Amino acid sequence: MNNRRKTELIIIHTSATPITMNIGAYEISKWHRAQGWLDIGYHFVIKRGGLIELGRPMEAVGAHAKGYNDKSVAICMIGGIDKDKKPENNYTVEQWDSLRTSLLFLNNIYSEAKVIGHNEVSKKDCPCFDVQAWLKMERASVDMIGG
């Protein structure tokens, strides 16, 4: 795997799995390798209970947003679809807390990076919530998240 030369974006993703499917980095890695990828495409995975798992090495080029992999870090939240496989913001309180923690951590390293949803650079529903609206709400209460 090659290392990124710059980090301009932190891109939030969904696993597009129902709430009953509490998978993690291991399962996603298996799916991605089955598609012929070197490994999991994301750098971090946030499980339903809030556990943050490591995916690709943080400095490595990811495989998660075509055209943006060489300048971004990826966080994948488990969930994001309902039982009929339609987009749904169904993340847990623990996941939101872990997302905040992850973004604060990454902001300390990549202070100039902008936080976006995958749907801001691709015609997808991913991550199944409006990242910019969420960030605006977060900033209103704590002005600490970069982007």
Is 118 assigned a catalytic role? yes
Is 126 assigned a catalytic role? yes
Question: What single-letter amino acid sits at 47?
Answer: K
Please identify which of the residues 32, 42, 91, 110 carries the catalytic annotation: 42
Neighbours of 41 (CB within 10 A): 22
Please identify which of the residues 13, 32, 43, 64 carries the catalytic annotation: 13
Please identify which of the residues 32, 43, 47, 118 carries the catalytic annotation: 118
State how far the Cα of 18 lies from the Cα of 1, in Å rounded to an integer. 31
Is 128 assigned a catalytic role? no
CA 124 to chain centre: 14
State how far the Cα of 35 lies from the Cα of 105, in Å rounded to an integer. 30
Please identify which of the residues 47, 91, 110, 126 carries the catalytic annotation: 126
Catalytic residue numbers, as ranges: 13, 42, 118, 124, 126
